[in-house]
Structures are given as C-alpha cells and as structure tokens.
C-alpha cells in the first residue's frame, strides 16, 4: 500500500532528523574519545537507527495508551517508567550491536555511557514535549469539530421531530429477527448513536434500534437520562465518577467499567442532573 504525500513527507523529515543526529553524535564523540571517525560514525548510525525505531514504538504507546487521560501523578509515574525502559533498551541494544560489529572499540565506548544516557534522556523529553503539543492541537481540533457536529446533529434531529411532545416511555421494544425484546428503561446503561440507528447498552447485551437520539432525549425521564455528548445518552444511576483529562475535557466512568466522552454542553447538563 502506497503512503500518501503527507505521510511520505513526514517519513522523509523523520529520517532526515536522525541522519543529522548521527552526524552531530559523531562530531561530539570526536571531542571526548580517540576513536577513528569512521568507527564513530558506524556507532552513531547504530544508535540513531535504534532510537528512531524505539521512537515510533514509544509514540504508539503514548497514543494508544491514552496517557493524556490519566491523572497527573499517574501520568508522571508512567513517563518515568517509560524513560527508564526506553533509555535502557537503547543503550543496552546499542552496546550489544557495538560489541558484535565494533568489538575492538567497545571498551573505549564504556566511559561515554553517562553522556549517552543524558542524550537519551534529552531525546526522550523532546518526544514527550512533541507528543503533548500535537495532542493538544488534536484535542482542540476534535473539540471544535465535536461541538460543530453536535450542533448540526441536534438541529437536524429537531427538524425531524414532530411538534407533539413524546410521552415518557417506561420500556423499549426491540425486534431482532423473530424475537421481540422488551427492555425496561432502568436496565439501560447508556444509548449510543450508530448512524440511522442507536445502540441500547445494558448489562446483559446490546440492542440495535432504528430510532433517533432526539427521540430518546425527549422520551426518557430527564431526572435519570442525560445527553452527555452528541453520540451518548447516559443513565446517571450507572455513573461511577467524572474525571478531567487534557485541557477542559471530561469523561465519565460507568459502573460496568466503560468510559464515555463528555462534551462541554453535556458536562453542564450532567452536573445539573447530579446536583453538582
């Protein structure tokens, strides 16, 4: 599969950065060792390649580990643990390769370990700062997009709804094949938008129903069900806690262990329902 122009550009810049690092690494080591430049360059290429690979893996750990959603103390502890792991892997694997490829100079490279450790820490901090900046930009863009989409969806659902106020329902029927499920509203943990359908999530199972989020928003008891996001309506009886992450972003933990994102307007409605 071919990479897009944007991805090819990013890959080219990433490789260029590590080539420049290898050159700077070689030059700096020339001032503190008496090893021939050619051998130092090989050593620099080995360590630059290793950190480039580790950097990609490390970036994915930060991205999919959702570190930005952790509380500050837990995020700090995780960052420290990752720093020790990344730098140890980098130095250990690098010197192991040096031993097999440049055995005659391995003993001369040992005194440079403290400096290499500081370099590794500096590179690690650069990765952390870069990730934080990009994450903040993406979060802000996502927040603006969610707000705009939420307004558009609510407007569309308002136009589709009738002028007659729906009655408050006590149970919901869902047809699945030849079966007809009757779900008491107290058993619903949350409702999630799914295209032209909605997912009714309960402790026992999930049910797909052809209906709008607007219908459920107006038909369910407002003292129990709150629309916290354009995609979610939650039963507040199943809300375990509310946590902040990033900058002015909230998410809720449910008693079944799931996490749901909360929009700015949804957070206000949720606080009112919980009397916070």
DSSP states of 45-112 as a string? HHHHHHHHHHHHHHHHHHHHTTGGGS-HHHHHHHHHHHHHHHHHHHHHHHHHHHHHHSGGGHHHHGGG
Contact 270, 236 (CB under 8 A): yes
Give the Cβ contact number of residue 98 at 10 Å: 19
Query: In the β-sheet with 232-235, what is the strand arrangement from edge to edge?
Result: 206-209, 197-202, 188-194, 232-235, 225-229
pLDDT (0 to 100) of residue 3: 57
Q: Sign of dihedral through CA atoms 225, 242, 156, 195?
A: negative
pTM to 2 decimal places: 0.48
3-state secondary structure of 220: coil
Contact 82, 67 (CB under 8 A): no
pLDDT (0 to 100) of residue 160: 53
Rg (CA), the chain: 27
pLDDT (0 to 100) of residue 156: 57
Residue 169 half-sphere exposure toward CB, CA atoms < 13 A: 17
Residues 6+ apart with CB under 8 A from 45: 22
pLDDT (0 to 100) of residue 13: 87
DSSP letter assigned to residue 258: -
Residues 6+ apart with CB under 8 A from 179: none
Beta-bridge mates of residue 176: 179
CA distance 124 to 163: 59
The tens-digit pLDDT sequence of the chain (276 residues) is 455 667 788 888 888 988 998 999 899 888 888 888 888 899 999 999 998 888 888 777 777 776 666 677 887 888 888 889 888 998 899 889 988 888 888 888 888 888 888 988 898 888 888 877 776 776 665 555 555 556 555 555 555 544 445 567 788 888 877 788 889 989 999 999 988 889 999 988 888 888 888 888 888 888 889 999 989 999 999 998 888 876 677 889 898 888 898 888 888 888 888 887
CA distance 46 to 90: 10
Residue 205 phi, psi dihedral angles, 5° rounding:
-165, 175
3-state secondary structure of 208: strand
CA distance 220 to 233: 10
């Amino acid at each position: 599969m071919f990479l897009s122009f944007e991805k090819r550009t990013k890959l080219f810049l990433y490789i260029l950065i590590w080539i420049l690092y290898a050159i700077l690494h070689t030059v700096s080591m020339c001032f503190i060792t008496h090893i021939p430049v050619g051998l130092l360059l090989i050593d620099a290429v080995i360590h630059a390649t290793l950190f480039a690979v580790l950097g990609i893996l490390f970036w994915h750990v930060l991205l999919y580990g959702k570190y930005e959603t952790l509380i500050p103390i837990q995020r700090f502890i995780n960052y420290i643990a990752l720093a020790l792991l990344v730098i140890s892997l980098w130095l250990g694997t690098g010197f192991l390769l040096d031993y097999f490829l440049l055995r005659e100079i391995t003993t001369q490279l040992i005194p440079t370990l403290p400096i290499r450790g500081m370099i590794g820490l500096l590179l690690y901090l650069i990765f952390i700062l870069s990730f934080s900046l990009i994450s903040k930009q993406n979060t802000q863009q996502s927040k603006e997009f969610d707000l705009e989409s939420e307004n558009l969806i609510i407007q569309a659902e308002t136009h589709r709804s009738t002028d007659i106020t729906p009655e408050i329902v006590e149970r919901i029927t869902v047809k699945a094949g030849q079966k007809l499920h009757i779900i008491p509203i107290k058993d619903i943990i949350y409702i999630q938008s799914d295209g032209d359908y909605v997912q009714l999530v309960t402790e026992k199972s999930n049910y797909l129903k052809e209906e709008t989020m607007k219908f459920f928003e107006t038909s369910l008891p407002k003292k129990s069900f709150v629309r916290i996001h354009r995609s979610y309506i939650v039963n507040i009886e199943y809300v375990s806690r509310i946590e902040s992450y990033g900058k002015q972003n909230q998410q809720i933990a449910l008693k079944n262990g799931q996490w749901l994102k909360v929009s700015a307007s949804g957070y206000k409605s949720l606080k009112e329902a919980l009397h916070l």
